[in-house]
Structure 1
Amino acid sequence: MEASFFRHLAAELAALLPGRRVGKVFAPADGALTLEVPAPGDRRHLLFRPAKQAGLLFLSAVKPMNPATPPARVMWLRKRLSGRRLLEARVDWPGLRLAFALSPGEGRHLLFNLRQDLSLVEDLPEGFGREPEWPGLDAVLNDSEVWREHPQISPPLRRFLGGLGAGAASAYEAVRAGQAPAFFLNETDPPLAWDPGGERREFATALEAATAHGERLLFPHLERLNDSEERDRLKTARKRLTRNLAKLDQEEGRLRGMLGNKAAAEALRANLWRLKDAEGLAEAELEGPDQGVLRLSLDPRLSPSENMARLFKLASKAERGLEHLERRRTQLLAELEDLGRATAPGPAPAAAHQAQAQPAPLPRRCRDIAAQAFRSSDGFWLLRGKNKAANHALVTKAASPFDLWFHVQGGPGSHVLLKRDFPNQEVPRRSLEEAAILAALKSWRSEDARADVICALARDVRPVKGAPPGQVQVDTIHETLRVDLDRDLERRLGEAVPEP
């Protein structure tokens, strides 16, 4: 997260959260945490995922799905956090850190570090919250390493100022003063506290921008991790790479030990004139050229000159081995980095309204349901139940809370689910109408030319207790669509489904 943006986000959270009690803590995925921080009229959850370059901290109305068994760290946090009240906040924004004092209990402060982790600490680090020193504009524009001493001068900030020309000075002063009239988010980058130009969305608050950014990254990431086969594959690959790197560390220690033979060989070479007549020598204490006095263990079967040649040969072999080892380590670290990108929220997905050349696979939990799968013209998965049991499973098993549910109005029919990647993802009108038509084509209105179809968020649709499968209660209707029944639509959208 960019430091100047975090400055505003942390200030808004520092004003909003104090006084709230922490409810339960969840871990929807390794490295990600969900904290319940309810308030009257505000049931949003605080989602946190630390990362060196792509840390996330935002509030969401949707609680991500969680594993059936909480990990040990979550249970540890629940025991120490649940029921405690968040008190005064302190912000160290250049370091991407936000801390809250806590009501009595173990640990006096709850510390969010976007680069590292969430922790309970007795005391905050020295200098926490100290305002940073600001370098001159020339240093910002011309020194690419300026961020090392001034972490608030991020690469995005340098690029922004570098493209302003004569306006850079006034823009820099605004950033220094913490001024941001709005916040901006494009399709690929984290949110910013200045206008990057081009196609971007504008938000009145940093919290709104952080939520839009966090939801579009974290929720698709969690959906991918819900696929157990993919999760197991990534876990196995990570174990293999870690194991191989550990073996390389052991081998490096052995080779560096062999490399020490070079100093012994050089000591022998410098003293050969003294040892030329020695035979059966097993030990020698010699003055090295640079190393001082060395105690050497020699092969008594060899002459001093033969021992010298053997030691040089071993050292040369170690040097070649270390070169190969470094190449291998670089390769393994690159594979581990690629694996990290696969298991962490990646770049923001392309705009939802753009059809995908290689659509994402259907989530695994949806594949065992007796439902027809279609792909909308804009790339969204559309699932239609084939029977009552499938209709029930679409609501109870396949749906994420932010998916859209469709059913013909006023009579029996199949349920249709439009899968979204993350909450509040924009769905083009064309896809909404296609989902509605699919629902109407398998309903009591299937022979009519036009039908009314209701649309609701999946979280507002729940099975009726004691009723037959497929009967639901809709708490809130999102909208009602009146659509013309296109009887060729099933064929066209069915052809867009990739082969399994």
Structure 2
Amino acid sequence: MDAHVFLALCRALTPRLTGAWLDKIQEPAPGVTSFALALPHVPHAGTTPSGASRKAWLVLRAGRKDPFLFLARDKPSAPPSPSAPVMRLRKYAAGRRILSLVPDFTGRRLWLLLSGEAPAGLAARAESDGPAVLWLLLDLREGPSLRLLGEDDQPRPEVLRWPEPAALEEACRNWRDWPVITPALRRVLPLMEPPDQAALLEDLRLGGGDVFLYRPVDDAGKPCAADVEPACLFGAWPLPPGRKPASWPGWRETAGEDVLALAEQAGKLLVLARVGRDAAGLAAVPLLRQERKTARLLDKMRDEEARLRDMCARRQDAEALRANLWRWAADARFPFVEVEEYAPDGSARTRRIDIDPRRSVREEMEALFHAARRGKRGLEHVARRRAELEETLDRLERERRAVLAGGAPRSDPKTSGVVLAEQADRLPRNVQLFISSDGFALLRGRDARGNGAARRMAAPHDIWLHADGGPGSHVIIRRAYAGQEVPERTLDEAGGLAACKSWLRDAARARILYAEVRHIKPLRGAAPGTVRMDKIWLSREVPVRPELETLLAPAPAATERESLERVHTT
């Protein structure tokens, strides 16, 4: 995030966050921190289908590469166990009010003055002896931290020096003396004409201008998958012609003065979608380890099976010796013997059989028969064990792919539908897979236990559906990240799938309840699949269309191209 767009964001955040209360602090991923806020007013807190909300989440991804800050209207998913730094932030900052905000342009930092007295644990380690106040520092490079500052150390609004248009070229050469000439600005100014350079500099100085969001699109103008790097570009000036990233076939521009809304769109792509992919990978690591261990055991079983088959094959040597025992004395010993073997067509060939020097020919024959019997018994045991390992390996692979496909958000609904379509046979048997016309993956339980399995595969921000007023199957709409918009067509199709397997299956229209998975709780001691809905996200009446079960079912043997064409069909 360039310092200029960071400053524009801080200016927009100041009236929104002044007077807000800090609630829970979470860590969705390493380096990513979210601050739950109770805003003092409704603007930009967002409205949900069930009414207005004053909740918002300030999300910070810190680091030397691609740091970002944005205000989200939907709660980001987070693991239950926070790190020690986040626990420290919770201890001293949660439950306090934000009194004021002071942006630091040069350092790309945002100071938040918190209400209340200085905590005793921090006051004992304060650098100054006089009265001090508590500040929450959001540093795009180092991350969040708490600072107890005295009166003389309080952050002050920064006064920026701007070069005159005539001195702009000199300022670009001596950019260390001009903090406003940021690295991103130095790269774009040489691509502009002098009048455009002066106009851009004036817009940045005055503030309040448009910000620009660019997303990659394919040749048909459709958005590319979010795993295309970079997922988007967000800046305080237009992207010069011909300067798109090499990985982009093309781009789509969205410009406007609402920096908070555009920063939220960029943050979902740059931060939340990546957090979801990382979470899916981490969740699949234990299963991948077990899968590799089982695969190694299976390889050993195959080697053992080959050894036992070789033992069984020795029976042919034993039978050949038995057929020719009349030729040798009972205690005859030879290093090897040669016998004649006759094929079914009557042709003969000479067969050489090596004899153990410690045995006679008769003893060698008995030893070969004994080894063949042991090999046969061992093959029966190894075959059972190999079948068990193959079943375990298949189960682990199915569970791992289910975690990647359904237990954590995918990069993009257009691609997640295709991936799930190719893996439909690897999902739990009591969970059905469908793909909406907009490319969203839909999971439906076949029975009560399947309802629970589908819910366990879902991420907290996924959408859960159920027919209102009676029994029915649970349906999950997979979302790539918290707050991703679900088209009305997908909502209707998912609702229709829920109605087709409910007490309303014979009705023309059905009332469907929608909720985020994080608000669905299983009832302890109740029958499988019984849940409690703590908060309704949406209540919607949809048409009951039994043909959806056929239209939206993925073809098991479809190729990737056929699946993509199916997903993109409108």
The two structures have a TM-score, normalised by structure 2, of 0.56
State which of 127, 136, 140 in structure 2 corresponds to 1:110: 136
1:35 counterpart SS class: strand
Q: Distance in 1 between matches of 2:435 and 2:15?
A: 44
- The reply on whether 1:66 has 2:78 as its aligned counterpart is yes
- Following superposition, the deviation at residue 97 of structure 1 comes to 0.8
Q: Distance in 2 between matches of 1:45 and 1:195?
A: 28
Q: Distance in 2 between matches of 1:82 and 1:51?
A: 23
Q: Distance in 2 between matches of 1:353 and 1:138?
A: 50
- In the alignment, which residue of structure 2 is the partner of 1:489? 551
- The reply on whether 1:414 has 2:473 as its aligned counterpart is yes
Please tell me the residue identity of whatever aligns with 2:538: I
- In the alignment, which residue of structure 1 is the partner of 2:20? 20
- Following superposition, the deviation at residue 82 of structure 1 comes to 2.7
Q: 1:472–1:127: structure 2 CA closer, same or farther, 3 Å change rule? A: closer
- In the alignment, which residue of structure 2 is the partner of 1:33? 33
- The reply on whether 1:427 has 2:486 as its aligned counterpart is yes
- In the alignment, which residue of structure 2 is the partner of 1:227? 280
State which of 444, 459, 465 in structure 2 corresponds to 1:384: 444
Q: Distance in 1 between matches of 2:551 and 2:199?
A: 56
Q: Distance in 2 between matches of 1:65 and 1:356?
A: 19
Query: What RMSD in Å do the two structures reach over aligned CA positions?
Result: 4.1
- In the alignment, which residue of structure 2 is the partner of 1:133? 161
C-alpha contact 2:171 2:178 (8 A) present in aligned 1: no
Q: Distance in 1 between matches of 2:500 and 2:556?
A: 14
- In the alignment, which residue of structure 1 is the partner of 2:3? 3
Please tell me the residue identity of whatever aligns with 2:498: A
Between 1:115-124 and 1:26-35, the stretch displaced more is 115-124
The two structures have a TM-score, normalised by structure 1, of 0.63
- In the alignment, which residue of structure 2 is the partner of 1:300? none
Q: How does 1:219-258 map to 2 (within 5 A)?
A: 219-227=272-280, 229=282
Q: Deviations over 1:192-236 (max 9, x none)?
A: 334448623345422222222223333323323333646859xx9
Instruction: State which structure, 1 or 2, has the greater radius of gyration over its C-alpha atoms.
Output: 2
- The reply on whether 1:209 has 2:262 as its aligned counterpart is yes
- Following superposition, the deviation at residue 126 of structure 1 comes to 9.8
Please tell me the residue identity of whatever aligns with 2:441: W
Q: How does 1:358-369 map to 2 (within 5 A)?
A: 359=419
Q: 1:368–1:413: structure 2 CA closer, same or farther, 3 Å change rule? A: same
Q: 1:471–1:14: structure 2 CA closer, same or farther, 3 Å change rule? A: closer
C-alpha contact 1:370 1:385 (8 A) present in aligned 2: yes
Q: 1:76–1:417: structure 2 CA closer, same or farther, 3 Å change rule? A: same
- Following superposition, the deviation at residue 358 of structure 1 comes to 6.6
Please tell me the residue identity of whatever aligns with 1:389: R
Between 1:9-18 and 1:143-152, the stretch displaced more is 143-152
Q: How does 1:290-305 map to 2 (within 5 A)?
A: none
Give me the identity figure in percent: 30
- Following superposition, the deviation at residue 127 of structure 1 comes to 8.5
C-alpha contact 1:404 1:457 (8 A) present in aligned 2: yes
Q: 1:495–1:428: structure 2 CA closer, same or farther, 3 Å change rule? A: farther
Q: Distance in 2 between matches of 1:371 and 1:5?
A: 45
Q: How does 1:126-165 map to 2 (within 5 A)?
A: 129-137=157-165, 148-158=176-186, 161-165=189-193
Q: How does 1:386-405 map to 2 (within 5 A)?
A: 386-395=446-455, 397-405=456-464
- The reply on whether 1:173 has 2:169 as its aligned counterpart is no
Please tell me the residue identity of whatever aligns with 2:141: R
Q: Deviations over 1:14-68 (max 9, x none)?
A: 3332333433322222112222332456222222221223222222233333333
- Following superposition, the deviation at residue 354 of structure 1 comes to 4.7
- The reply on whether 1:47 has 2:73 as its aligned counterpart is no
- Following superposition, the deviation at residue 7 of structure 1 comes to 0.9
The count of corresponding residues between Structure 1 and Structure 2 is 379
Please tell me the residue identity of whatever aligns with 1:200: E
Q: 1:370–1:117: structure 2 CA closer, same or farther, 3 Å change rule? A: same
- In the alignment, which residue of structure 2 is the partner of 1:273? none
Q: Distance in 1 between matches of 2:155 and 2:531?
A: 60
Gaps of 5+ in 2: 41-52, 127-133, 216-230, 241-250, 290-409, 564-570
- Following superposition, the deviation at residue 169 of structure 1 comes to 1.9
Q: Distance in 1 between matches of 2:272 and 2:420?
A: 14
Gaps of 5+ in 1: 237-348
State which of 227, 232, 252 in structure 2 corresponds to 1:189: 232
- In the alignment, which residue of structure 2 is the partner of 1:200? 253
1:45 counterpart SS class: strand
